[in-house]
Amino acid sequence: MSGPYQWARIVSGPQNRKTRPILAYTLRRLVILLFSLLVAAVVLFILLRLLPGDPANALLGVGATEAQIASARAQVGSDQPLYVQFISFISNLARFDLGTSFVSRASVVEEIGNRLSVTLPLTILGFVAALIIAVPLGIIAAVRSTKWYGAAISVISQLGIAIPVFWVGILLVSLFAINLRLLPSGGFPLKGWANLGEASTAMILPVLTISLVMSASMLRYVRAATLEVLGSDYLRTARALGSSFPEALIRHGLRNGAVPVISILGIELASTFLGAVVIERVFSLPGLGSMLLLAIQQRDYPNVQGVLFISTLLVLLIGFAADLTQRIVDPRLRDRGAGTP
């Protein structure tokens, strides 16, 4: 037996009872991810072609001759029929070739890589700090919901959701940079992370801003998930069987409460990444968001296209990771569709 039959035999073997559903789900989910990416690429292609004017004009500026325009069109490929442009666009994407910037003449992939060295740490640190704030406070807000401090945490988190992220950033700048003069109000060292001390200091306020705003909404989800666990029969049963309250909460609450929170965290991480655009603007950080805004202003189509494509890819990957984690944590989801023995 060989080929797909061999594969089917291996996958359906009894020893793979546990891994089979996850493997099948991962493959299925990967196909969906690739399809979503293709749809996003098509939408991106159409949207950029719908913009008024020819990309070649952006390359030349005002006062170019007809010959210069024709040469520029040939250079960027906008003189080709639309389907040829599309095939070229997709095949370049498949090779991860996002082209060359009209303005800097640098490789878009390289430029995005440089910008990601700011945006990714900002997103990840902001997200992790938000988790560190939200998880314990969310649990306390649920477990002590009848106490004044449980209610206070809940009310403050509600306020946190209502306050826009840029406003929190401005308040923090006003407090820590202008009044207390403890931290820089913005900017990032030219040498980037090579200048570790300065780069880390520059990240403190943006990370704090993101974490405070993100933790407010995360806290609500953690609180709701914990309240659900607290009302569950299995927690009451564990108490009745002899577990102390903290013991029962740790043993049963954390994993069960984590499942609904994980799917939300995927969305939160994606929105943290997209929200970093605003934060980079407030703190003048040279990240992906600033690159996108600059590229739009300069009509640098390859850069716009590149940033949007990479952002879409990252958001889809985050969703993929969140879905997979949820399957791994929850055995019921893991076995869904696999049939019961």
Partner 1 sequence: MSLLTVEKASFGYSKTRLVLDGASLDISPGDSIGLVGESGSGKTTLLRLLLGLIRPSSGNITFKGAQLDPANAAFMREYRRQVQVVFQDPYSSLDPRQKVFAIVAEPLRSLRIAGDHRQMVTDALVSVGLDANVLDRFPHEFSGGQRQRIAIARAIVSGPSLLLADEAVSALDLSTRIRIVELLKSLSQTMTLVFVSHDLGVVAALCERIVILEKGRIVEAGPTASILANPQHPYTQRLLASVPRMPA
Q: Which residue of 26, 114, 117, 243 would you call a contact of partner 1, by CB under 8 A? A: 243
Q: Which residue of 49, 144, 239, 299 would you call a contact of partner 1, by CB under 8 A? A: 239
Q: Which residue of 232, 263, 298, 325 would you call a contact of partner 1, by CB under 8 A? A: 232
Q: Which residue of 62, 181, 242, 297 would you call a contact of partner 1, by CB under 8 A? A: 242
Q: Which stretch binds partner 1 (CB under 8 A): 26-34, 134-142, 266-274, 330-338?
A: 330-338
Of 253 and 306, CB closest to partner 1? 253
Q: Which stretch binds partner 1 (CB under 8 A): 56-64, 91-99, 147-155, 229-237?
A: 229-237
Q: Is 234 a residue that touches partner 1 (CB under 8 A)? A: yes
Helix (H, G, I), strand (E, B) or coil at 120: helix
Minimum distance from residue 76 beta carbon to partner 1 (Å): 54
- What are the helix (H) ranges across the chain? 3-12, 19-50, 55-60, 66-76, 82-94, 108-143, 148-162, 165-172, 196-230, 233-241, 245-248, 254-282, 288-297, 301-329, 331-334
DSSP string of 11-27, one letter each residue: HHSGGGTTHHHHHHHHH
Q: Which residue of 220, 223, 252, 327 would you call a contact of partner 1, by CB under 8 A? A: 252
Residues ≥6 apart with Cβ < 8 Å to 113: none
Minimum distance from residue 340 beta carbon to partner 1 (Å): 5
Helix (H, G, I), strand (E, B) or coil at 337: coil
Distance, CA of 165 to CA of 213 (rounded, Å): 6
Q: Which residue of 236, 245, 246, 337 would you call a contact of partner 1, by CB under 8 A? A: 236
Helix (H, G, I), strand (E, B) or coil at 4: helix
Q: Is 256 a residue that touches partner 1 (CB under 8 A)? A: yes
Q: Which residue of 58, 238, 277, 285 would you call a contact of partner 1, by CB under 8 A? A: 238
Helix (H, G, I), strand (E, B) or coil at 199: helix
Phi, psi of 100 (to 5 degrees): -125, 140
Q: Which residue of 47, 233, 304, 305 would you call a contact of partner 1, by CB under 8 A? A: 233
* Contact footprint for partner 1 (CB under 8 A): 232-234, 236-244, 247, 251-252, 255-256, 259, 329-332, 335, 340-341
